[in-house]
Amino acid sequence: MNRLTLIGMPGSGKSAIGRVIATRLGWRFIDTDHCIEKRFGKKLQAVVDEVGTEEFARIEEETVLALPEEGPVVISTGGSVVYSDAAMQHLAAISTVVFLDVPLPRLHGRIARAAPRGIVGMGAGGLEELYRNRFELYHKYAHSIVLLQGENLQEAATRVLFQCGVS
């Protein structure tokens, strides 16, 4: 299949790795979070703050369901997309879904450097609770799981492509 969708926790590198893969392959790159930001004319966190998490989930699902179904593309999703079975079924039907599994300690550092950012579902339990809540869903929907433990962007992109059999 000439379409990849990257799922994973905030800070797992979906957008950065996705851009590298798309560039290497000469494919389009779509970041669903950026699609939402463009639609609303503001940063993702501002959208989440304005509409609330329930409405944001509906917007995220709507954005994914509207993705084009043809042509070579790498899709980077928001981390919360796995809460929508309809969105995940759509992504699985149009692409190979890859879970970028980054250990929790690495995510902590990345999230701190990127704050503030729109992280749906982040409650009092923090990143640990969010990770526990989503981990099973990422596994459920992924066609392929790529464990990343500190590789640079180029190495991570190579691992994803190798593991998915894309060249």
SS3 of residue 100 by DSSP: strand
Q: Is 14 annotated as a binding residue?
A: yes
Q: Is 134 annotated as a binding residue?
A: yes
Q: Is 123 annotated as a binding residue?
A: no
Q: Is 106 annotated as a binding residue?
A: no
CA dist 81 → 35, 88, 167 (Å): 14, 7, 27
Tell me the C-alpha distance between 24 and 15, whole Å.
14
Q: Is 31 annotated as a binding residue?
A: no
Q: Is 165 annotated as a binding residue?
A: no
Q: Give exposure, 105-138, as e/b (b: 16+ Cβ within 10 Å).
A: ebbeeebeeeeeebbbbbeeeebeebbeebeebb
Q: Is 78 annotated as a binding residue?
A: no
Cβ atoms of 96 and 1 closer than 8 Å: yes
Residue 42 phi, psi (nearest 5): -155, 165
Tell me the C-alpha distance between 16 and 29, whole Å.
10
Residues in binding site for Mg(2+): 15
Residues in binding site for ATP: 11-16, 117
Residues in binding site: 11-16, 33, 79, 117, 134
Residues in binding site for substrate: 33, 79, 134
